[in-house]
Each structure stands twice: as structure tokens, then as C-alpha cells.
Amino acid sequence: MSYQFSNVETSGRTKYFPLEITRVARNQSGGIDVDEEISRFVFLTTYNESFEATWTTNDSNFGALNKTFRYSQTNRKLTLSFKLPARNVADSKENLEFCQKLARLTYGKYYTDENNINVFSTPSYNYQGALFDIRLNFGNLIRNENIYITDYSFTPNFDAGIFEYSATPVTTENGTTPLGQLKDSLFAEGSSDLPETSYTSHGELGKVYPKEVEVNLTMTILHDYKLGFGGPNRPGEPLKWAENRNRDWPHGTGPTYPVLEYMTEDGSGVSEPEISDQWGNLEIEDSEDEVPEGIDEVQTLEGTQQTKGEDVNYTINEYGEVVLQ
């Protein structure tokens, strides 16, 4: 990860997770190599996922109560909005570089054909294809998913201010130096003479370094693994989830909550209620209520529990528990 203000980076590494985007490429052996990786701890403002199922309908037969519905596919889309605040000039520069790389991911791939010279006497510039080699990670919400970016916007918040250019002369042992250039040099050297919080001006005339930018991303997720129920990964198990890498999909719940049984590879995990009939009604077995000592059999009758030989009054407390009177 590139430079980020120390307080933000420390807090992020101990309590949060970064937004990670990776460009990958297939090697000759069929494996995946990482071409480029960018990551940043972001201040999330909007997170929205949509699963759009496409169905087709045919004209209903004469006398049929319903039309014929056929499932086609499901498209998963993701919208992210986040802010990137900057505490100093270096932080702002890294934010801009991160946004610059995001902007490039909205373009396709091209190649230069040296054997094909165009009318301008230069090699032709040919379209090679769209960018379908982008991987996204964002904690347990998005885990190494193949995406392409459909919309990207970048908005500097000028109300928050910018880091100013400074040509104020400063006398040093090497002579007179503009203040902004001096701070640039000291930070690049990692000098202790310039704390992070003091790098608030720069020496690059004409450059704008905003103190905050807002980013909006819209992406479509391309699944490169099997989804749905049944299929070749689940022979003889049509009610099991096809993606059988022993993880909760789409949002991993982590070690606190075991993987649901129908998503496991080997059948371990949390059991689900079984299907009881052809209509898909769930059969849930009721556990027998524990009978208080001295009471042989309990049957609930509108505020009265009837036992062998006597009636017992009861109330229900704020936790939904039955309290005998």
C-alpha cells in the first residue's frame, strides 16, 4: 500500500480493511499473475449491492391461471461511494494517484500494430478488448470478485480547502529556499525536521492538491465460478449451493458464524431445516418445552397451563419467557 497518513493507516490496519483493486493476467501455464495492485483505506459513505434476476414470460395457455416464467440469469451490481481526506500534501498526492488509476480502469485495452501504418505515417492503434481482468476485495463484503467498472466519478471538495503553493523564502544552511520546496525535500528524505502534520504547503506552482475528494464507483461483478443450486459440483444434491469452496456466499460471516450446511463442501456446518413436501414448505421440528419440576404435562390454554389435577396460572415476561404464578 502507498503512503497514507499514519493515524489513518494504523487505525485501518487494526480495525478496518482497505479497498483493494488488482489487475491480473493469465500466464502461459494457466495461472494468474498480478499486473498492478492499488489499495487505500477509504471513508465509506454508500454501499449498495443489487442482484437483478432476469425472467422471461411466454403467453399463457388457454385457461391457465399463470403465465409461463423462465429464469434467464442474475446480474450482480455494486455501487460504492467514499471520501478520501488528506492530512498533508503527500496524502493528497496519493489520493489523486489512486483516483487517477481508477479512472484508467474505465478504458479498454489497445495495442500498436507496427506492421500497419496509418495515413499519419504512424503504427495503427487497434482495440484489443474490454478490461475484464480486474479483481476487487473489500473485507468480507467483496472477496476477490472479477469486476468491470461501468461508472466512475471524482469530485474534489474545494469547500474543505487545498494545500497551497508557498514561495515564502526560508534561510537554511545552504542558502535561501522557497518554503514549499523545502517541505517537499524534507518529506521526500523522511526528515524528522518535518512532522507529518507540518507538510501543509508545497513548491509546485500551478498544482492543486485538495484536502478531500469524493469518489463514486459503479461496477458489475462477473462470476467466474459456479453459482445456483445443484449442478456438476453437487451430484445427487440438488438443494446444495453450487459454489462449494466452504465459504458463505456472497458475504462471508467469518469464524463467528459457521458456514451454512448447504454451502459447505463436506456437509459440516449449521444444519438447515429440511424440505418436507413437494411444494417447498419447510418442516421445522418443535423442541419439547421443559416442564417445571412437579408438573407432569403442560398444555397452553389462553393464560392457563392445565396439568394433571390442577390449573397453573402464568405470565409472559419482556423476554418472551413463560413465568409460572
Phi, psi of 180 (to 5 degrees): -60, -45
pLDDT band per the 50, 70, 90 thresholds, residue 300: very low
Cα torsion 140, 141, 145, 151: sign: negative
Q: What is the pLDDT of residue 289?
A: 46
Q: What is the pLDDT of residue 317?
A: 55
Coil, strand, or helix at residue 103? Answer: helix
Are 48 and 113 in a shared domain?
yes
Least confident of 100-109, 130-139, 203-212: 130-139
At residue 142, does pLDDT exceed 50?
yes
* Cut 0.85: pTM above it: no
Are 266 and 135 in a shared domain?
no
Per DSSP bridges, beta strands 162-165 and 201-202 are: parallel
Are 243 and 105 in a shared domain?
no
Are 145 and 12 in a shared domain?
yes
The Cα–Cα gap between 44 and 136 comes to 15
Q: What is the pLDDT of residue 324?
A: 58
Q: What is the pLDDT of residues 50-82, one digit of tens each?
A: 999 999 888 767 777 788 888 999 999 999 999
Are 309 and 214 in a shared domain?
no
- What is the tally of structural domains in the chain? 3
Are 232 and 144 in a shared domain?
no
The residue that leads in pLDDT, 234 or 221, is: 221
Half-sphere exposure of 104 (CA within 13 A, CB side): 14
Residue 182 domain-assigned (yes or no):
no
The Cα–Cα gap between 276 and 236 comes to 18
The Cα–Cα gap between 34 and 70 comes to 39
The amino acid sitting at 102 is: L
Are 78 and 34 in a shared domain?
yes
Coil, strand, or helix at residue 297? Answer: coil
Cβ-count burial of 266 within 10 angstroms (0-12 exposed, 13-18 middle, 19+ buried)? exposed
Cβ-count burial of 162 within 10 angstroms (0-12 exposed, 13-18 middle, 19+ buried)? middle
Domain extent for 310? 291-324
